[in-house]
Amino acid sequence: MIDAERSYRATLLGLRHGVDLARLLHEVAMRGDDPALRELTRRICTEREVLLANAVDTLRWFAEQPRLALTSGLRLPVRAPTPAARR
């Protein structure tokens, strides 16, 4: 399992991907003939970019909490299988 910090950074990559797609859609909408789509994509970009910036700013938590940042995301203890389960 990956640690919490790596998991968070991987999630940020997905968020960045989504914002990039919204920007691309906005550029397509700007070249089209649909004012409602242009406005929608503009709003999506504006709102999502703020959310992404906030998520990136939160990365400092991992520097402030290194012990927690390096813990596994797995919550259940790993146990050896019982002899009956091995069959």
Measure the CA–CA gap between 19 and 46, rounded to whole angstroms: 9
What domain count does the chain have?
A: 1
- Does residue 41 belong to any structural domain of this protein? yes
Contact predicate 41/22, CB 8 Å: yes
- Does residue 64 belong to any structural domain of this protein? yes
The per-residue pLDDT for range 52-81, each reduced to its tens digit, is: 999 999 988 888 888 877 776 555 454 666
Q: Check residue 11 and give its pLDDT.
A: 93
- Does residue 79 belong to any structural domain of this protein? no
Q: Is the pLDDT of residue 51 over 90?
A: yes
- Does residue 27 belong to any structural domain of this protein? yes
- Does residue 13 belong to any structural domain of this protein? yes
Q: Is the pLDDT of residue 49 over 60?
A: yes
- Does residue 15 belong to any structural domain of this protein? yes
- Does residue 47 belong to any structural domain of this protein? yes
pTM of structure: 0.68
**Residue 46's domain spans which residues?**
4-68
The per-residue pLDDT for range 15-36, each reduced to its tens digit, is: 999 999 999 999 999 999 999 9
CA dihedral 53, 65, 1, 49 (to 10 degrees): 0
